[in-house]
Amino acid sequence: MTLKEEMFHIAMAAREAAKGLANLSTEVKNKALINMARAIRKENKVILAENEIDIKEAERKGISRALLDRLMLTSARVEEISSGLEKIADLPDPIGETIKSWKTPNDLEISKVRVPIGVLVIIYESRPNVTVDAAGLCLKSGNSVILRGGSEATHTNVILAHLISEAAEEVGIPRGAIQIVRKVERKAVKELLGLSQWIDLVIPRGGEGLIRMVGEFSTIPVIKHYQGICHTYIDEAADLKMAEEIAFNAKVSRPGVCNAMETLLVHRGIAKKFLPSFSKRLLKAGVEIRGCAETRKMIPEAREAVEDDWKTEYLDLILSIRIVSNLEAAIAHIEKYGSGHSEAIVTDSYRAAKNFLQVVDAACVYVNASTRFTDGGQFGMGAEIGISTDKLHARGPMGLEELTSYKYVIQGEGQIRLK
Amino acid sequence: MTLKEEMFHIAMAAREAAKGLANLSTEVKNKALINMARAIRKENKVILAENEIDIKEAERKGISRALLDRLMLTSARVEEISSGLEKIADLPDPIGETIKSWKTPNDLEISKVRVPIGVLVIIYESRPNVTVDAAGLCLKSGNSVILRGGSEATHTNVILAHLISEAAEEVGIPRGAIQIVRKVERKAVKELLGLSQWIDLVIPRGGEGLIRMVGEFSTIPVIKHYQGICHTYIDEAADLKMAEEIAFNAKVSRPGVCNAMETLLVHRGIAKKFLPSFSKRLLKAGVEIRGCAETRKMIPEAREAVEDDWKTEYLDLILSIRIVSNLEAAIAHIEKYGSGHSEAIVTDSYRAAKNFLQVVDAACVYVNASTRFTDGGQFGMGAEIGISTDKLHARGPMGLEELTSYKYVIQGEGQIRLK
């Protein structure tokens, strides 16, 4: 079988399974999720052994410690993956929900009813837990899923996908509902991206290169999950104690995630009062500071921030700082360099807060809170498949609802259209 | 300026205008819509003169009567276009609406707020009223629009776009909010479809060839508006009088539109009772019938329906008829040949109705009503930019709400994330 044929067969099987999945009862879907959790828990050792193969290979290739950490599973992590599925089983089933309903003047009863999207492709990097999380969310929302993880996690992903798809089938989920692409060639992805007749949506999660490639080659709709270049702007009217806590949390609590702050913008009027003491706390926490010329006058330890710094998602204990003359300048900086993910203002000015919330074009805009809250779980969605930086279909954290479409159900008593 | 540069400038200007548009008051937008209506009404004669040029050219090329009819404007049609804008002004402004809001356990106030998408490209064929309708809907929903009509309507489209963009600017709409692509080359469209950094969404409306081309070349998200291959299935348990009225309405009331029936499916159990008399009425109305072998035994006037007939959107007084053995066979036919637009069952069986509504995967599924109701106006949306046959972002009739995205607004009092 050629690579093209192989991808075609995967897509066809997913499409066929999607028909059955769309009409499964909540009970069967939940049973499957619980059985999947059990299978993973039971095969903990097998999973860790396969993960060990990936880890050894990765070490041999000399990949970074951060990447190794993402790739590595432990007994505790396997247990987390397993209980994640049980949590998805506990979430309400979005399918069949009446989103709204109304009656027309001629007594047609129209309901807008939630249905699955159909067949999804999830393309991701490194972290093997995504294999199981994504499969669980897609199953619960009635979608078939084709998984494509990073090549460095192949052994781990393949065993995980094998275990959960078997466990799902055991309790009545159609074969083909959960599949993984075993071929590591990039060409496999390109073949998939051309199969728009069988696949409804592609969600790429990962580096900019991956996402651009997917956007360029796909004839299938794509919801992009770019990482976040998130800003916190400390306004002239900010409570500086609050500002310090929020900015520190946004940068330091978990620097390697997409909702962490990368650039701090500070109003000139309070910079001298705010930056010297705050920077001491950052430096003590091991944060490297890169600043504009004015910032460097106040923080001698700061390196010079160059143009590239404003464009970079460090995902690390590095922070760029820029002093701005006013709110408008802060907004202009965010408009130019932000990735449309999460942006925050700290202020006590009603006008500044209102203006910032109105004008800043991002999935999540905050007043007086840390950008670290951009997360499906924190938002109360139960779980998320990722955070969309697109504006079509879904923006921001994507939970079960965002993995659905809808149809209009119209019930009549013989109505015909008169004009 | 090369074609590439020209398209780039259009996209840049649209993007720039979108920033201003997103934050305009409802009052200014409505003033603009009313001024646009006034401009069109005032320049009625100029518009008709430009339309005359297109008509003459079309006649010279020998285009079909149906196409000529779509292309032709009259004083009454110009007035309709004008009052269409006033109706859009009367619709509620979707922008700024709080879709939902809630409080998290740590007292963050989260609101999901409706915002414009940004920059839209609308690609359409023949009917010049789309130029104005689309511009009006995009303006009201705060989006910039780049219009690209059929080449046969160029003179008409250009004068209409000129009048409304001038009228909009007069009352404060940013320049670039409404633009038209004057270049007739197909290459112009291809250039636009590559500008994903500046354009957020493409909506193609028209023939299959156009839509496939857009889907293939676009790096920008596309919401497809395929035309409709709509079925009506007359179940064994149907009220046959009601069935006749519904099917007749679905086929004959306006055969040239996408929500008209193209194929009638009839349960074998009632075919003999239903078809002979119903076919007389169809034939009398000038409908050409193409049927399966069994149908032809009951309707001697019917030509043989070949495989292609089940796949064809006639948009004309032609109907294909197939006799099926049961509900499942009807659903299988729809699954194979339907375009996901509008599908209807006529039945008095609760089980059959429920099953049909559940299983048939289309934007609109009907029980005991004519598919002709699939229309933004009939659904109570006020107006529509088209009917999506896609499942992502918007499905079925697309009104103002479907031309929006959302953002999360999070208001805190200093909250930071603890884990």
> Residues A63-111: pLDDT tens digits?
888 788 889 999 999 999 999 999 999 999 999 999 999 999 999 999 9
Please give the pLDDT value at position A419.
Answer: 79
Indicate the residue of B368, B379, B417 with minimum beta-carbon distance to A373: B417
Regarding whether B182 and B108 lie in a shared domain, the answer is yes
Residues of chain B positioned with their CB less than 8 A from the CB of A246: 414, 416
CB contact under 8 A, A362 and B407: yes
ipTM of predicted complex: 0.95
End-to-end CA distance of chain B: 55
Q: Give how many domains chain A has, as a whole number.
A: 2
Give the chain A residue nearest B356 (alpha carbons). Answer: A409
In sequence order, what are the residues at sequence separation of 6 or more whose Cβ sits closer than 8 angstroms to the Cβ of residue A97?
A113, A114
Regarding whether A194 and A245 lie in a shared domain, the answer is no
Please indicate, yes or no, if residue B415 is contained in any of the structural domains: no
Regarding whether B281 and B169 lie in a shared domain, the answer is no
Please give the pLDDT value at position B201.
Answer: 97
Please indicate, yes or no, if residue A418 is contained in any of the structural domains: no
Residues of chain B positioned with their CB less than 8 A from the CB of A196: 215
Which residue of B416, B418, B419 to mutate against A (max A Cβ within 10 Å)?
B416
Regarding whether B344 and B318 lie in a shared domain, the answer is yes
CB contact under 8 A, A242 and B215: no
> Residues B232-251: pLDDT tens digits?
999 999 999 999 999 999 99
What's the mean pLDDT in B17-25? Answer: 96
Chain B: closest CA distance from residue A190 (Å): 14
Indicate the residue of B104, B223, B407 with minimum beta-carbon distance to A378: B104
Please indicate, yes or no, if residue A23 is contained in any of the structural domains: yes
CATH code: domain of residue A52 = 3.40.605.10
Residues of chain B positioned with their CB less than 8 A from the CB of A115: 361
Q: Does B368 or A66 have the greater pLDDT score?
A: B368
Residues of chain A positioned with their CB less than 8 A from the CB of B380: 102, 104, 110
Distances (CA, A) of B154 to B47, B52, B161, B253: 12, 11, 10, 30
In angstroms, rounded to a whole number, what is the distance separating the alpha carbons of residues B44 and A261? 56
Residue A185 confidence class, pLDDT cut points 50, 70, 90:
confident
Angle at A344 between CA A342 and CA A349, to 5 degrees: 155
Cβ–Cβ < 8 Å for B370, B107 = no
Regarding whether A404 and A311 lie in a shared domain, the answer is no
Count CB pairs under 8 A between chains A and B. Answer: 185
> Residues B95-136: pLDDT tens digits?
999 999 999 999 999 999 999 999 999 999 878 999 999 999
Please indicate, yes or no, if residue A346 is contained in any of the structural domains: yes
Distances (CA, A) of A89 to A85, A93, A146: 6, 9, 20
Please indicate, yes or no, if residue A416 is contained in any of the structural domains: no
What's the mean pLDDT in B262-278? Answer: 98
Regarding whether B284 and B137 lie in a shared domain, the answer is no
Please give the pLDDT value at position A190.
Answer: 94
B292: its two tokens: 């399966």
Please give the pLDDT value at position A69.
Answer: 86
Indicate the residue of A366, A372, A417 with minimum beta-carbon distance to B249: A417
CB contact under 8 A, A392 and B410: no
Please indicate, yes or no, if residue A145 is contained in any of the structural domains: yes
CATH code: domain of residue B240 = 3.40.309.10
Residues of chain B positioned with their CB less than 8 A from the CB of A413: 368-369
- Whole-model pTM: value is 0.94
Q: Give which of B240, B231, B303 is closest to B275, Cα–Cα.
A: B240
Distances (CA, A) of A120 to A17, A93, B186: 12, 18, 32
Regarding whether A242 and A221 lie in a shared domain, the answer is no
Regarding whether A279 and A221 lie in a shared domain, the answer is no
CB contact under 8 A, B245 and A414: yes
Q: Is 90 exceeded by the pLDDT of residue A281?
A: yes
CB contact under 8 A, B412 and A368: yes
Mean pLDDT of chain A: 96
Regarding whether A217 and A274 lie in a shared domain, the answer is no
A347: its two tokens: 């202020």
Chain B: closest CA distance from residue A219 (Å): 6
Indicate the residue of B219, B222, B364 with minimum beta-carbon distance to A408: B364
CB contact under 8 A, A369 and B246: no
Cβ–Cβ < 8 Å for A396, A388 = yes
Regarding whether A238 and A219 lie in a shared domain, the answer is no
- Beta strands in A315-377, from DSSP E residues, in sequence order: 318-324, 342-346, 364-369
Range of the domain at A91: 3-226+389-410
Please indicate, yes or no, if residue B384 is contained in any of the structural domains: no
Regarding whether A286 and A190 lie in a shared domain, the answer is no
Please indicate, yes or no, if residue A381 is contained in any of the structural domains: no
Regarding whether B74 and B100 lie in a shared domain, the answer is yes
